[in-house]
Amino acid sequence: FKLTSVDEFEAATARLLETGAKVGADSWQLRVKNQSPHCKFGETGVCCRICAMGPCRITPKAPRGICGCDVHGIVGRNYLKFTAGGAATHSDHGREICHTLYLSAEDGNYKVKDPEKLKRIAKEWGVETEGKDIYDLAHEMAELALLEYGKPFGTQRWLKRAPQTTQDIWDREGIAPRAIDREVSTSLHMTHMGCSSKPEALIRQSLRAGLADGWGGSMCGTEFSDVLFGTPKPIDTEANLGVMNAENVNIIVHGHDPSLSEMICEYADDPEMIAYAKSFGAKGITVSGVCCTSNEVAMRRGIPMAGNFLQQENVVLTGACEAIVVDVQCIFPALGPLSKCFHTKFITTSPIAQMPDSEFIEFHAENAGENAKAIVKLACENFVNRNKDLVYIPDMKQKATVGYSVEAIVKVLDGVTNSQVDETGTTKPLIECITSGVIRGAVAMVGCNNPKIRPDHAHIELMKKLIANDIVVIASGCAAQAAAKAGLMDKQSKDLCGAGLKRVCELADIPPVLHMGSCVDISRMMILAATLAKDSGLKISQLPVVGCAPEWMSEKAVSIGNYVVATGIDTFLGVDPYVSGSSEVAELLTNGVREWVEAAYTVEKDIDKLVDSMIDRIEEKRAAIGI
């Protein structure tokens, strides 16, 4: 067993870019050059264009905008707007899932695959389940969940899942999120010209909008996706571009919403469709994924992961991609013109994400089956249009075991038998491992890729050092895919762990880096932290657990960071969220918020320093609780 190195990833990319050069393709690598150096005003967050008297940019000679706003107000407003964008996006994804649940039917396109989970949530929400038809219950729960987006009074239902100590903090600080849409609206209201310019108020609302995402919209997305498509269990798959098959019709699913990809996978498996692919000279159909849509179907179906965010152009550059089918979020508009350099069909499916040079096949619950079938057919028919001279799929893939939902983690922990813990179905075996020092702590590695950081390098190097130091890693999003591509989700990578973590991996039969899903599934990590706190009697902020997004890039990532911090978990970033222009905002985020929520951000671009500071923080937390 050998890890695949980032050098090898880059050699494969270089080879694909040669193909790109032959056909006149553009690439992010070229566009980064054109965009460098970045605008300093934008990069430090000191440019304001929220009213038409501007744009104003703050310099030593011009310390205030025309309205008189100072740099702290401008940076703070920009930060809150950025957060609101992320919270809106995740939450709207969650809302789509609730609508899909509302349309689920015994004989429909979408069914309830995990009725037990639905009943469990119904009980939590005080909804009667006795004697109710499962679809009646699904529709009732979907409607209740949809009301969480706009309810006039009260706070989010999911908050009750947090330990009481955490809920008390949220109440005390006035950051318990109300209706999900209201927190997004309030944020946009606050950042309108002539409203808030006080950093404390802006950052407080950033935390609340983040919580509306993580303990609101994202949690709806995760939990009801599980109800519809099944709660993930450990499953074997493969990762990296080598999962594409030159002899097959290759369909790539990309984006975030599993409603589309689930249906595509369903039809790609249909014998009738496979026969159709064969009629065009292919040996079969391979569906593989990019970004979080990929995580969703990998976790539930073992569909292989072709790559993460900055590999999305690579799948087209293989020359062997018949169709790249996208739903929402993190899709490069570049895929339009790029697909035109090849035979690839670039198929957009959501009114939310429409792009030039794509074929738009609108997808919704009522026509999902029909349209998925049409897309699979289109891909099959496109096989004959391949230019065989351009086909090159890097021979590079790793095995990965994925699918570690909280439910699955609790189950594997039952395997870590210990004389002191005879209770099953809890996180107590993990707490016991942490208390005894066999495992020092846990790091949640999340987030995207960003060309500002050597792609995947930070993710992989950090994870290697963490597991070598007996720190278990839970991962989601593109961070998880980086791990899978490198081989860190192959159970054999246990040999890279310290002795303690290695033993735990053997007992529980798990890899040292656990795939917890997509970016909305960071809500799973919140539930895990809440469960650990409840099972140990500690506050979340006392657990030797930190969060890390070393290569993040999107608004969603900032929203996530805010709810992770607001939940009491220190969060380490490798990219600055455009706040360095304001000493006050930067101070609040990296220190001041600790007084409110018992956690804060650390921003550190040096990867070695970043990992060392996480290990130090974990050891400090251990010392503080005397373990």
- Is 48 a binding residue for ligand SF4 by CB under 6 A? The answer is yes
Size of the residue set binding ligand SF4 (CB under 6 A): 14
Q: Whose Cβ is closer to Fe ion: residue 249's or residue 252's?
A: 252
- Look up tokens 């993460």; give the residue: 308
- Residues in region 62-81 near Fe ion by CB under 5 A: none
Residue 236 main-chain phi, psi, to 5 deg: -90, 140
Q: Which amino acid is at 344?
A: T
Out of 121, 453, 480, 519, which residue is the one contacting Fe ion (CB under 5 A)?
A: 519
Name which of Fe ion, ligand SF4, none residue 477 binds, using a CB cut-off of 5 to 8 Å depending on partner kind: Fe ion
- Minimum CB distance to ligand SF4, residue 183 (Å): 22
Contact call for residues 474 and 483 (beta carbons, < 8 A): no
Out of 23, 51, 374, 603, which residue is the one contacting ligand SF4 (CB under 6 A)?
A: 51
Contact call for residues 576 and 549 (beta carbons, < 8 A): no
Query: How many helices (H) and strands (E) are present in the chain, helices listed first?
Result: 26, 16
Q: Whose Cβ is closer to ligand SF4: residue 41's or residue 360's?
A: 41
DSSP conformation class of 421: B
Cα of 179 vs its chain's centroid, Å: 22
- Minimum CB distance to ligand SF4, residue 127 (Å): 46
Q: Which amino acid is at 127?
A: V
Task: Tokens for 213, please give them.
Answer: 């995402």
Name which of ligand SF4, Fe ion, none residue 292 binds, using a CB cut-off of 5 to 8 Å depending on partner kind: Fe ion
- Is 69 a binding residue for ligand SF4 by CB under 6 A? The answer is yes
- Is 53 a binding residue for ligand SF4 by CB under 6 A? The answer is yes
- Name the one range near ligand SF4 by CB under 6 A: 5-13, 51-59, 166-174, 567-575: 51-59
- Name the one range near ligand SF4 by CB under 6 A: 4-12, 42-50, 140-148, 154-162: 42-50
Name which of ligand SF4, Fe ion, none residue 390 binds, using a CB cut-off of 5 to 8 Å depending on partner kind: none
Contact call for residues 545 and 506 (beta carbons, < 8 A): no
Residue 252 main-chain phi, psi, to 5 deg: -105, 130
- Name the one range near ligand SF4 by CB under 6 A: 47-55, 382-390, 460-468, 475-483: 47-55
Contact call for residues 314 and 250 (beta carbons, < 8 A): no
Q: What angle do CA 52, 56, 58 make, to 5 degrees?
A: 165
Out of 54, 336, 337, 451, which residue is the one contacting ligand SF4 (CB under 6 A)?
A: 54
User: Other CB atoms closer than 10 Å to residue 626's CB: what's the count?
Assistant: 6
- Is 56 a binding residue for ligand SF4 by CB under 6 A? The answer is yes
- Is 477 a binding residue for Fe ion by CB under 5 A? The answer is yes
Name which of Fe ion, ligand SF4, none residue 406 binds, using a CB cut-off of 5 to 8 Å depending on partner kind: none
Cα of 181 vs its chain's centroid, Å: 20
Contact call for residues 485 and 455 (beta carbons, < 8 A): no
Nearest one of 548, 89, 515 to 331, comparing CA atoms:
89
- Minimum CB distance to ligand SF4, residue 58 (Å): 8
Pairwise CA distance, residues 6 & 485, whole Å? 10
Contact call for residues 293 and 249 (beta carbons, < 8 A): no
Name which of ligand SF4, Fe ion, none residue 48 binds, using a CB cut-off of 5 to 8 Å depending on partner kind: ligand SF4
- Minimum CB distance to Fe ion, residue 171 (Å): 31
Task: Tokens for 564, please give them.
Answer: 């992770």
Contact call for residues 230 and 475 (beta carbons, < 8 A): no
- x/- mask, ligand SF4, residues 182-201, rule CB under 6 A, reads -----------x--------
Nearest one of 266, 198, 197, 202 to 229, comparing CA atoms:
266
- Is 50 a binding residue for ligand SF4 by CB under 6 A? The answer is yes
- Name the one range near ligand SF4 by CB under 6 A: 52-60, 235-243, 341-349, 372-380: 52-60
Contact call for residues 416 and 504 (beta carbons, < 8 A): yes
- Name the one range near Fe ion by CB under 5 A: 149-157, 205-213, 511-519, 575-583: 511-519
- Minimum CB distance to Fe ion, residue 121 (Å): 23
- Name the one range near ligand SF4 by CB under 6 A: 64-72, 242-250, 552-560, 576-584: 64-72
- Minimum CB distance to ligand SF4, residue 37 (Å): 23
- Name the one range near ligand SF4 by CB under 6 A: 15-23, 54-62, 112-120, 603-611: 54-62
Out of 66, 105, 623, 624, which residue is the one contacting ligand SF4 (CB under 6 A)?
A: 66
Nearest one of 322, 249, 323, 261 to 291, comparing CA atoms:
261
Contact call for residues 599 and 444 (beta carbons, < 8 A): no
Q: Whose Cβ is closer to ligand SF4: residue 67's or residue 421's?
A: 67
- Minimum CB distance to ligand SF4, residue 76 (Å): 12
Q: Whose Cβ is closer to Fe ion: residue 44's or residue 314's?
A: 314
Q: Whose Cβ is closer to ligand SF4: residue 81's or residue 182's?
A: 81
Pairwise CA distance, residues 200 & 187, whole Å? 13
- Name the one range near ligand SF4 by CB under 6 A: 34-42, 66-74, 119-127, 281-289: 66-74
Nearest one of 605, 602, 519 to 565, comparing CA atoms:
602
- Minimum CB distance to Fe ion, residue 280 (Å): 33
- Minimum CB distance to Fe ion, residue 557 (Å): 9
Buried b (16+ CB within 10 A) or exposed e, 499-528: ebbbbbbebbebbbbbbbbbbbbbbbbbbb
Start-to-end C-alpha separation, the chain: 35
DSSP conformation class of 353: B
- Name the one range near ligand SF4 by CB under 6 A: 63-71, 316-324, 545-553, 572-580: 63-71
Binding residues for ligand SF4 (CB under 6 A) = 48-51, 53-56, 65-67, 69, 74, 193
Binding residues for Fe ion (CB under 5 A) = 292, 477, 519
